[in-house]
């Protein structure tokens, strides 16, 4: 038992603290411990949860209605509206956004969020607002996501915010209600896993390829119960947009959260954003943030290594994000899987995806290219794709849809003229939202339609009933839109020099 | 949440094992935006059959569901508990519950009481021979009584305490509200707030 500290023995504790502080801790442990309001009792499986304070609660229209209703039924209020923010994203149309929403279920969810935000005094960025967009794009862009914070949202891809060195994870509807009412959450500690990526990415290889390779390596359940920390020289070299892409898909490896230690790149990104600390607060914040990276010698519960030098563009062939291979590879042969479950899953996936085992991935022809989603819809993603398509011609049988992650990203892209590059190429330049990532709005694949998508889930029917999804990076998406088959920019260069020689 | 001390109501024999949450409430009902009014969704697939037990008097007014083993398996949807409660159930008796379902029940004031399968079968017999028989579930003494038959049930101490106090998760956390307030007072000034709103 720890005695309650009186002013005198606080001094004594501080004096003897160095010994206690000497225990090296991971980034995740530091953030966790700094948010414990009431520690749990016991140890191991029998341990009762710690009560953790939540610094930022982000909401969207799909998982919030019942949470608000629960508050109303119990006569409770929102404890900290000033630590809460909502946006409309899952159901919003990406065309004619000034028109009423046609689908009654979508319209109702959005109207309900508007009513609830009004009733409970919560800041909401609605369709048409310059700050509207996908929750996980909006938080960072406003400077609300910062290192060392706890961030939650009723959405599994909340892990995105971990790119800042925040502990960020998705929660269920009753937990949303819990956070609204108490600004805290009872949680049992997670285990930690280090994912170390050393080396230098080759030209045309991106953060998306890193995370797809990680998931293929550890499997869709490999991260279960863990907070992943991405580290190593290849991660340090990434921009914030790219780190968000990686952390975003931590959940596809089954992990609760993913994190990257904050550094100069992080501070640079946050500085000057609307909600960034200012003046003395900035200095104090940077001092704290700088103390967060994992201490030398801290122990992780598990470790995984990946060689960045070896990595190639990575794409999925199946119906879960772990079913991926290098783009230069072939569609796997189910019989080659030792594990009978993996074999059966591969057989089912090939049938659903209508692919033949052994065929080159690059021979796969797509109907649609989707550039968007909270994984790859930030400015850097749009710039990367635009740089590849500029001055080139789209395959005439491919439709390409570009959906910026937020209205702000769209505005910034337009200021740089990226919208013209996409339109000249023949792509559709849409308004912000989740769009074809999950097809809750009208942006859906038709049955049998095949899509190269920069999103994060290739589950059966995810992008529309019967639709077939290949997860790809923005680089591969752009090259694929040009050639019509799954491609990387190196394929473009090759076919163009052939053309010149001919 | 109402404190749960003891409950008496009509018992409903559901002679099925492995009743999963998809059967308790099919996925199509998950699109709703309310958290009450799911009574029509409870066992929606089975209730299309007019002979299904919940479509028959007096079981349709039941409040104690007596089910086969492995109740509540499958997806973790909280709606399964909502639907049972909305229909009027206060207690489910089964020889075994899926962990997540049991957890969700305890949090929402539905008592998931574990009773040996041979006792479940005796209760089934009683309820079938004498439709409308009242079942009394006493959380204090952890006993269940149906007609002249009486037996014990299992529920963990923590869940029992919470049910008796009528504490949902939020109520439980709010018992430490002072600690939350103290923690808030210690948060550094540089932590961001969403209000007042600042935009680019
Ligand atoms: S873009 Fe896709 S993954 Fe991201 S929040 Fe929206 S629906 Fe979820």
Task: Point out which residues pair with A473 in neighbouring strands.
Answer: none
Task: Report the candidate in A198, A187, A170, A183 with the shortest Cα–Cα distance to residue A258.
Answer: A170
Q: Is B180 within 8 Å of A143 when comparing Cβ atoms?
A: no
End-to-end alpha carbon distance in chain A: 81
DSSP structure class, residue B168: -
Distance from the Cα of residue B199 to its chain's centroid:
45
Q: How far is the CA of A203 from the centre of ligand 1 (A)?
A: 28
**Do A260 and A241 contact (CB within 8 A), yes or no?**
no
**Do A471 and A376 contact (CB within 8 A), yes or no?**
no
Identify the three-state secondary structure at position A396: coil
Tell me whether strands A167-170 and A191-198 are parallel, antiparallel or unpaired: unpaired
pLDDT digit string (tens) for B145-172? 999 999 999 998 888 988 999 988 899 9
**B78 cis-preceded (ω within 30 degrees of 0):** no
Closest ligand 1 atom to Cα of A440? 7
Which tokens in the block code for residue A191? Answer: 């285990």
pLDDT at position A16: 40
- Hunting for tokens 């550039």 — which residue is that? A371
DSSP structure class, residue A378: S
Please check whether residue A408 touches B, CB under 8 A: yes
Integer Cα distance of A227 and A258 in angstroms: 6
Least confident of B6-20, B25-39, B127-141: B25-39
Please check whether residue A453 touches B, CB under 8 A: no
pLDDT at position B9: 98
**Do A263 and A227 contact (CB within 8 A), yes or no?**
no
Q: What is the least distance, in Å, from the CA of A69 to any CA of chain B?
A: 7
User: In this structure, what is the dihedral angle of CA atoms A370, A371, A374, A376, given to the nearest 10 degrees?
Assistant: 140
Q: Is the beta carbon of A401 within 6 A of some atom in ligand 1?
A: no
Which tokens in the block code for residue B69? Answer: 């083993």
Widest Cα–Cα separation across chain B: 73
pLDDT digit string (tens) for A267-277? 999 999 999 99
Burial environment of residue A369 by CB neighbours within 10 A (0 to 12, 13 to 18, 19 or more): buried
Identify the three-state secondary structure at position B98: coil
A153 is in an annotated binding site: no
Q: Is B194 within 8 Å of A275 when comparing Cβ atoms?
A: yes
- Kindly report the pTM of this predicted structure: 0.88
Please check whether residue B162 touches A, CB under 8 A: no
- In chain A, which residue's Cα lies nearest the Cα of B31? A105
| Percentage of residues of chain B with pLDDT beyond 70 | 100
Task: Report ipTM (2 d.p.).
Answer: 0.91
Integer Cα distance of A261 and A250 in angstroms: 15
Integer Cα distance of A246 and A256 in angstroms: 14
Integer Cα distance of B26 and A86 in angstroms: 29
Least confident of A39-48, B42-51, B88-97, B173-182: A39-48
**Ramachandran angles phi, psi of A227, nearest 5°:** -100, 125
- The residues of chain A scoring below 50 in pLDDT are 1-19
User: Quick check: B114 pLDDT over 60?
Assistant: yes
Tell me whether strands A36-38 and A50-53 are parallel, antiparallel or unpaired: antiparallel
Integer Cα distance of A446 and A455 in angstroms: 17
DSSP structure class, residue B97: B
Which tokens in the block code for residue A79? Answer: 């404890």
End-to-end alpha carbon distance in chain B: 44
User: In this structure, what is the dihedral angle of CA atoms A73, A78, A79, A80, given to the nearest 10 degrees?
Assistant: 170
Question: Side-chain half-sphere of A357: how many Cα atoms within 13 Å?
Answer: 12
CB atoms within 10 A of CB B121: 15
Per-chain mean pLDDT for chain B:
93
3-state secondary structure A92-125: CCCCCCCCCCCCHHHHHHHHHHHHHHHHHCCEEE
pLDDT at position B52: 96
Pocket perturbation via mutation, ligand 1, pick of A374, A402, A458 by most ligand atoms within 8 A of CB: A374
Integer Cα distance of B38 and B44 in angstroms: 10
Integer Cα distance of A364 and A362 in angstroms: 5
**Do A125 and A131 contact (CB within 8 A), yes or no?**
yes
**Ramachandran angles phi, psi of A377, nearest 5°:** -135, 15
User: Quick check: B139 pLDDT over 60?
Assistant: yes
Q: How far is the CA of A182 from the centre of ligand 1 (A)?
A: 26
Residue nearest (by alpha carbon) to ligand 1 atom 4: A374
pLDDT at position B77: 83
Q: Is B188 within 8 Å of A55 when comparing Cβ atoms?
A: no
3-state secondary structure A154-171: CCHHHHHHHHHCCEEEEC
Please check whether residue B181 touches A, CB under 8 A: no
A374 is in an annotated binding site: yes
Please check whether residue B185 touches A, CB under 8 A: no
Integer Cα distance of A299 and A396 in angstroms: 53
- Hunting for tokens 């080759």 — which residue is that? A202
A247 is in an annotated binding site: no
Q: Is the beta carbon of A134 within 6 A of some atom in ligand 1?
A: yes
Task: Report the candidate in A6, A32, A464 with the shortest Cα–Cα distance to residue A227.
Answer: A32
pLDDT at position B137: 98
Q: Is the beta carbon of A437 within 6 A of some atom in ligand 1?
A: yes
Integer Cα distance of A291 and A285 in angstroms: 10
Please check whether residue B61 touches A, CB under 8 A: no
Integer Cα distance of A133 and A85 in angstroms: 12
| Percentage of residues of chain A with pLDDT beyond 70 | 94
pLDDT digit string (tens) for A3-29? 333 333 333 333 344 445 579 999 999
**Do B149 and B130 contact (CB within 8 A), yes or no?**
no
Closest residue to A174, CB basis, from B78, B172, B177? B78
**Do A204 and A489 contact (CB within 8 A), yes or no?**
yes
Identify the three-state secondary structure at position A324: strand
CB atoms within 10 A of CB B155: 19
Average pLDDT over residues B109-129: 96
pLDDT digit string (tens) for A172-190? 888 999 999 999 999 988 9
């Amino acid at each position: 038992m720890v005695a309650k500290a009186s002013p005198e023995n606080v001094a004594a504790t501080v004096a003897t603290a160095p010994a206690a502080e000497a225990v090296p801790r991971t980034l995740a442990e530091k953030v966790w411990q700094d948010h414990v309001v009431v520690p749990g009792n016991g140890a191991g499986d029998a341990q009762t949860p710690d009560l953790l304070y939540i610094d930022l609660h982000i909401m969207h229209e799909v998982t919030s209605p019942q949470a608000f209703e629960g508050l109303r039924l119990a006569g409770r209020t929102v404890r900290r509206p000033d630590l809460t923010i909502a946006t409309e994203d899952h159901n919003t149309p990406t065309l004619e956004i000034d028109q009423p929403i046609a689908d009654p279920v979508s319209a109702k969810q959005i109207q309900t969020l508007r009513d609830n935000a009004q009733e409970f005094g919560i800041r909401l960025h609605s369709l048409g607002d310059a700050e509207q967009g996908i929750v996980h794009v909006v938080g960072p862009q406003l400077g609300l996501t910062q290192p060392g914070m706890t961030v939650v949202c009723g959405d599994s891809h909340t892990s995105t915010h971990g790119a800042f060195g925040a502990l960020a994870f998705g929660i269920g509807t009753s937990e949303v209600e819990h956070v609204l009412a108490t600004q805290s959450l009872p949680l049992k500690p997670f285990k930690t896993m280090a994912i170390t990526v050393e080396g230098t990415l080759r030209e045309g290889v991106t953060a998306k390829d890193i995370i797809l390779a990680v998931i293929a390596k550890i499997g869709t359940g490999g991260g279960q119960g863990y907070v992943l920390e991405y580290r190593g020289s290849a991660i340090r070299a990434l921009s914030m947009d790219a780190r968000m892409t990686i952390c975003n898909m931590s959940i596809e490896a089954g992990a609760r959260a993913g994190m990257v230690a904050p550094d100069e790149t992080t501070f640079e990104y946050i500085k000057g954003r609307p909600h960034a600390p200012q003046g003395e607060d900035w200095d104090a914040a940077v001092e704290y943030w700088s103390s967060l990276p994992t201490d030398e010698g801290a122990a992780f519960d598990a470790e995984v290594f990946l060689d960045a030098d070896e990595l190639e563009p990575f794409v999925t062939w199946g119906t879960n994000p772990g079913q991926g291979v290098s783009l230069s590879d072939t569609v796997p042969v189910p019989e080659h899987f030792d594990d009978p479950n993996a074999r059966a899953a591969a057989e089912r996936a090939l049938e659903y995806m209508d692919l033949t085992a052994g065929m080159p991935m690059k021979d796969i022809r797509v109907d649609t290219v989707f550039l968007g989603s909270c994984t790859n819809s930030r400015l850097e993603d749009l710039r990367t794709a635009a740089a590849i398509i500029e001055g080139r011609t789209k395959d005439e049988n491919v439709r390409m849809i570009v959906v910026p992650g937020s209205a702000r990203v769209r505005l910034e892209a337009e200021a740089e003229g990226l919208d013209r590059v996409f339109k000249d190429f023949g792509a559709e330049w849409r308004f912000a939202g989740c769009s074809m990532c999950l097809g809750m709005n009208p942006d859906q694949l038709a049955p049998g339609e095949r899509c190269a998508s920069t999103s994060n889930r290739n589950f059966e029917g995810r992008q529309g009933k019967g639709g077939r999804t290949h997860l790809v990076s923005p680089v591969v998406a752009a090259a694929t839109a040009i050639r019509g088959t799954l491609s990387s920019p190196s394929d473009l260069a090759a076919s163009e020099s052939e053309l010149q020689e001919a | 949440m109402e404190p749960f001390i003891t409950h008496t109501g009509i018992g409903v024999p559901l002679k099925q094992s492995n009743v999963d949450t998809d059967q308790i409430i099919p996925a199509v009902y998950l699109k709703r935006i309310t958290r009450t009014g799911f009574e029509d969704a409870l066992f929606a697939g089975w209730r299309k059959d007019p002979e299904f037990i919940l479509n028959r008097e007096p079981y349709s007014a039941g409040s104690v569901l007596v089910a086969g083993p492995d109740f509540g398996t499958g997806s973790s949807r909280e709606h399964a508990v909502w639907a049972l409660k909305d229909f009027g159930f206060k207690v489910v008796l089964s020889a075994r519950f899926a962990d997540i379902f049991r957890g969700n029940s305890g949090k929402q004031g539905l008592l998931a009481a574990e009773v040996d399968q041979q006792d479940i079968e005796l209760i089934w017999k009683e309820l079938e021979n004498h439709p409308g028989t009242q079942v009394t579930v006493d959380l204090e003494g952890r006993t269940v009584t149906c007609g002249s038959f009486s037996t014990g049930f299992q529920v963990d101490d923590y869940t029992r305490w919470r049910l008796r106090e009528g504490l949902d998760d939020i109520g439980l956390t709010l018992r430490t509200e002072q600690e939350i307030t103290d923690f808030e007072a210690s948060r550094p000034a540089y932590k961001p707030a969403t209000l007042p709103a600042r935009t680019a």
